[in-house]
Amino acid sequence: MSGRPEVLFPLFASLETLPGVGEKTAKALGHLHIEAPRDLLFTLPTSGIDRRFRPTIKGVTLPATVTTEVTVERHHPPRAKGRPTRIDVSDAETSFSLVFFHARADWLQRQLPEGAKRVVSGKAEVFDGVAQMPHPDHILAPDEAGDLPSFEPVYPLTQGVTLKTMTKAAAASVARAPDLEEWTDPSLVEREGWPDWKTAISAAHTPEGSADLVMTAPARKRLAYDELFAHQVTLALARSRTRHRKGRASQATGQLQRKVLEALPYQPTDAQERTIREIAEDMGTQQRMTRLLQGDVGSGKTLVALMSLLVAVEAGGQGVMMAPTEILARQHLAGLRPLAESAGVVLEILTGRDKGSERRAKLEALRNGDIQILVGTHAVFQKDVEFQDLRLAVVDEQHRFGVTQRMELGQKGQAVDVLVMTATPIPRSLSLAHYGDMDLSVLDEKPPGRTPVTTALVSSGRMDEVVAHLKTAIKEGRQAYWVCPLVDESEVLEQTAAEERFKRLRAILGEGVVGLVHGQMPPREKDAAMADFVTGKTKVLVATTVIEVGVDVPNASIMVIEGAESFGLAQLHQLRGRVGRGATSSTCLLLYQTPLSESARRRLEILRETEDGFRIAEEDLAMRGAGDVLGTAQSGLPRFRIADLERQGALLATANADARKLIADDPDLTSDRGRAVRVLLWLMEQDKAISMISVG
């Protein structure tokens, strides 16, 4: 697949090849992410103006856009500086005036000579009891009036680009759209009643009324599908490449897993057992595993991860588990080591803090296979980290991990299986868009021993009551987190807020009772503060959001979130998940500043109503949009121009199934439809996919 097909060249030419687009306009269009005629094709009108012809403006409820034929009666030059020129005109039944500010008299005489007939179209309004039309959008001779569309599309604009320029450039781009072979499954096209691609592009740019502007209009839905489908084909190719690159079968014996299960004080949930089985079966095949393990806060992902790592060890190999932060890596170590020891498995940690001889000794042990499971931060990516026989990588994800890193990790061993874990329940439509190249396992039950958390909303005016409540709870031997508010993206201000709160609570609750952690602290101090809280030396931990992920203190049964209105839903849900891990009944107090905005109130109420992370994620998606739910900067989510992930989830699911089937039947895209899909990939700039086909 050498280069871009010739049939697409005109769509990827420079913008300046379009009529009316010079260097300045081309630069301005860049602000709308429009770099070539192809981008204009996918920049659809957002609304439209009704320009249907009417014999008269009489009887029209003004203000309104009106198109009518008039006879020019008289010009009235401005009566004073800064006043407008008025031109009296009459249509079939009534008269009104056209109003022009700062217009040159000779231009007006040429455009609107007295006694001539003209078709004018623009916004008519009533001013001082008289109808007028200031600066008509269109002034045409009657024989040119046919050029005026009865419904004029309105495009997104940016400074330096007028609607006229945009409409002209879009029309010229549409005129360049070639006839392309059909890449969509013909039965789907027929079932949905979709036009072919070229007809759809043309129809989307020439709407006949507002019904053509909604996303369910056939032309628009078809174009949205093309976008989603191209993206899903890319993911399906990535997945099939991973699969076809030979994996290695890691056969579980079950011996080590059995020892761990015997050491557990509880019975795993059905969801855990099902997931452990799915992963072991995947690892036992010759194909590479790339699996996403989604589980809500506290659904027991860690046990599933350990059992999967033990499969690698039982098969005679090694496993690695990566966490996004040092605190989390240490926590995984604390949770996993006793269980690994019960099975006689050697488990070590490697972070950026390991230096000198200690680090050398660990690396040596890894190379010799003496360390069977390694827990670490992304320090395990470094060049000098070599395994004797790495078979499984578990990535504890927090969204910082895109497709590229997943592939990079695969290079560390021969055909490494990859399991990505995420604690953020992601709505199905998003997990298909972001992780469509992976198989999905979901932990949808809570293990026994997790107590429900009571959530209450408290206005910050009642702070004293909250502190008094805390004092009593500490006397009863309980522990609490106190999370400080998010301050405008500024870690420095957040640190100050946390330090202030720490001092105040210490003054009321006593020395040595309160600890503090925030993002700006040196790692050693952070770890020490965490350790004091874990061992129960301190009873209250004041923190910024550094504790959002993964910290596990079963005795902590109170979570106070100050400035709760400044947090997102998913974040609040994660924070609340830090309590309710022990046997005591737990509470989460959401302290908010009044007045609450409508969306903040909605967020806090959803949280009070449910502990179901998947329901919270769906609500979050509906309220915030896809990029925000995944954290736009790192999300790796494609930027769709037409498709809408929030509202077209069902379309995405169809595209996912269609793409998987296509690549299974035609992995190299050599069939007739396959070749058409190659053109689609070029058209949609899915370069990743293109390189995969050409290499594959």
Domain boundary among 443, 475, 503: 443
Indicate whether 522 and 390 sit together in one domain.
Answer: no
Instruction: Give a yes or no: residue 626 inside a domain.
Output: no
pLDDT attached to residue 695: 44
Domain boundary among 610, 626, 661: 610
Indicate whether 284 and 397 sit together in one domain.
Answer: yes
Q: What is the pTM of this model?
A: 0.63
Q: Estimate the crossing angle of helix 687-695 against helix 672-683, to 10 degrees.
A: 140
Per the omega criterion (within 30 degrees of 0), is the bond before 595 cis?
yes
Instruction: Give a yes or no: residue 624 inside a domain.
Output: no
Indicate whether 435 and 488 sit together in one domain.
Answer: no
Give the tokens for residue 581: 């891990």
Indicate whether 347 and 393 sit together in one domain.
Answer: yes
pLDDT attached to residue 623: 66
Tell me how far apart the alpha carbons of residues 381 and 384 are, in angstroms, rounded to a whole number: 9
Radius of gyration of the chain (CA): 32
Closest by Cα among 460, 455, 452, 690 to 593: 460
Indicate whether 471 and 557 sit together in one domain.
Answer: yes
Indicate whether 353 and 436 sit together in one domain.
Answer: yes
**Amino acid sitting at position 180:** L
Instruction: Give a yes or no: residue 266 inside a domain.
Output: yes
Q: What is the H or E stretch that residue 562 is in?
A: strand 556-562
Residue-wise pLDDT for 153-191, tens only, equals: 999 998 989 998 999 999 999 999 999 999 999 999 999
pLDDT attached to residue 242: 66
Q: Is 679:183 a contact under the CB 8 Å cutoff?
A: yes
Tell me how far apart the alpha carbons of residues 246 and 288 are, in angstroms, rounded to a whole number: 7
Closest by Cα among 293, 294, 233 to 657: 233
Instruction: Give a yes or no: residue 362 inside a domain.
Output: yes
Query: Structural domain tally of the chain?
Result: 5
DSSP 194: P
Q: Is 293:422 a contact under the CB 8 Å cutoff?
A: yes
Instruction: Give a yes or no: residue 620 inside a domain.
Output: no
Instruction: Give a yes or no: residue 638 inside a domain.
Output: no
Indicate whether 81 and 195 sit together in one domain.
Answer: no
pLDDT attached to residue 627: 45
Buried b (16+ CB within 10 A) or exposed e, 561-592: bbbbbebbbbbbbbbbbbbbbbebebbbbbbb
Instruction: Give a yes or no: residue 375 inside a domain.
Output: yes
Per the omega criterion (within 30 degrees of 0), is the bond before 63 cis?
yes
Name residue, tokens 């020129």. 85
Beta bridge partners of 66: 122
Q: Is 457:608 a contact under the CB 8 Å cutoff?
A: yes
What residues of the chain score a pLDDT lower than 50? 1, 399, 626-636, 695-696
Question: Computed from CA positions of residues 606, 608, 612, 617, in that sequence, does the dihedral angle turn out positive or negative?
Answer: positive
Indicate whether 309 and 430 sit together in one domain.
Answer: yes
Indicate whether 477 and 407 sit together in one domain.
Answer: no
Q: Is 215:231 a contact under the CB 8 Å cutoff?
A: no
Domain with residue 338: its CATH number is 3.40.50.300
pLDDT attached to residue 120: 96
CA atoms within a 13 Å half-sphere pointing along the CA-CB vector of 449: 14
Domain boundary among 595, 610, 625: 610
Give the tokens for residue 457: 């909303």
Q: What is the H or E stretch that residue 478 is in?
A: none
Indicate whether 531 and 657 sit together in one domain.
Answer: no
Buried b (16+ CB within 10 A) or exposed e, 620-629: bbebbebeeb
Domain with residue 102: its CATH number is 2.40.50.140
Tell me how far apart the alpha carbons of residues 14 and 36 are, in angstroms, rounded to a whole number: 6
Q: Is 682:180 a contact under the CB 8 Å cutoff?
A: no
Indicate whether 529 and 596 sit together in one domain.
Answer: yes
Please state the separation of Cα 97 from the chain's center in Å: 51
| 399 Ramachandran zone, left/alpha/beta (phi>0; psi -120 to 50) | left
**Amino acid sitting at position 28:** A
Instruction: Give a yes or no: residue 635 inside a domain.
Output: no
Residue-wise pLDDT for 197-213, tens only, equals: 999 999 999 999 889 99
Indicate whether 593 and 647 sit together in one domain.
Answer: no
**Amino acid sitting at position 548:** E
pLDDT attached to residue 138: 92
pLDDT attached to residue 292: 85
Range of the domain at 580: 453-610
